[in-house]
């Protein structure tokens, strides 16, 4: 059974003006889809064709890992955004952020710093590791499950994530996502899972 490009949980223009339909068209419709297509080519006719995405990610290296992890990362990224998102956290995650970071402002500063200082392509993450919330940054396709951490939320800081809407302004993109798109309901669901 081939891997599939999962549907977005919103319309392609639903995140505009913060994330344009053109960005979604390229980032989801071309970049994400290409990772799915390349993963399917890599596993076709091998035992991995019937493996779970997570099991491939945990054991693979090189191009197979890169494509499998980028499929997972992008699906996770899209599911963590909402047209009704942004701003201060709600629910259980709000209490955990207060306890583990000392408040939303400190959390936000650490997450923004991680995204901004990830040299080249990569991801900034809110994770749970060893029972505590933490911020991670990973290069290229790398992701928390390879480091014993549970992903709760991520922002893609590859240039393809922001160049159409914000050109080179990665910090602006991260601010806009945090102010307008982060879906705390999904973060709470990931925390509880």
Q: Does 28 bind Mn ion (CB under 5 A)?
A: no
Size of the site for Mn ion (CB under 5 A): 2
Interface with Mn ion by CB under 5 A: which range of 57-65, 83-91, 132-140, 150-158? Answer: 150-158
Least distance from Mn ion to the Cβ atom of residue 4, Å: 18
How many CB atoms within 10 Å of residue 60? 19
Interface with Mn ion by CB under 5 A: which range of 58-66, 83-91, 155-163, 170-178? Answer: 155-163
What separation in angstroms does the CA of 52 have from each of 90, 108, 172, 181?
A: 32, 33, 36, 29
- Cβ proximity of 174 and 86 under 8 Å: no
Q: Which two tokens stand for residue 39?
A: 């993963």
Least distance from Mn ion to the Cβ atom of residue 2, Å: 21
Least distance from Mn ion to the Cβ atom of residue 151, Å: 15
Q: Does 165 bind Mn ion (CB under 5 A)?
A: no
Least distance from Mn ion to the Cβ atom of residue 157, Å: 9
- Cβ proximity of 127 and 152 under 8 Å: yes
Q: Does 156 bind Mn ion (CB under 5 A)?
A: yes
How many CB atoms within 10 Å of residue 87? 12
Where are the alpha helices (H) located in the chain, listed in sequence order?
21-26, 33-43, 53-59, 62-79, 92-101, 104-117, 159-166, 170-180, 184-192
Interface with Mn ion by CB under 5 A: which range of 39-47, 96-104, 152-160, 168-176? Answer: 152-160
Least distance from Mn ion to the Cβ atom of residue 28, Å: 9
Q: Which of 65, 158, 166, 184 binds Mn ion (CB under 5 A)?
A: 158
Q: Does 78 bind Mn ion (CB under 5 A)?
A: no
Which of 68/93 has CB closer to Mn ion?
68
Residue 135 has phi, psi (to 5 degrees) of -100, 135
Query: By the criterion CB under 5 A, which residues form the site for Mn ion?
Result: 156, 158
């Amino acid at each position: 059974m081939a891997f599939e490009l999962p549907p977005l949980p919103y319309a392609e223009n639903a995140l505009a003006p913060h994330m344009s339909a053109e960005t979604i068209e390229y980032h989801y419709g071309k970049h994400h889809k290409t990772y799915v297509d390349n993963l399917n080519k890599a596993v076709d006719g091998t035992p991995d064709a019937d493996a779970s995405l997570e099991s491939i990610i945990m054991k693979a290296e090189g191009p197979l890992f890169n494509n499998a992890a980028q499929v997972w990362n992008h699906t996770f990224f899209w599911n963590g955004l909402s047209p009704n998102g942004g701003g201060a956290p709600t629910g259980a995650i709000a209490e955990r952020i207060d306890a583990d970071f000392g408040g939303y402002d400190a959390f936000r500063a650490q997450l923004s710093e991680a995204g901004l200082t990830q040299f080249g392509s990569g991801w900034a993450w809110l994770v749970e590791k060893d029972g505590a919330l933490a911020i991670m940054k990973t290069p290229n396709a790398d992701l928390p499950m390879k480091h014993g951490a549970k992903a709760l939320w991520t922002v893609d800081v590859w240039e393809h994530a922001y160049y159409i809407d914000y050109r080179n302004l990665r910090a602006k993109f991260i601010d806009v996502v945090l102010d307008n798109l982060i879906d705390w309901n999904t973060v709470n669901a990931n925390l509880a899972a």
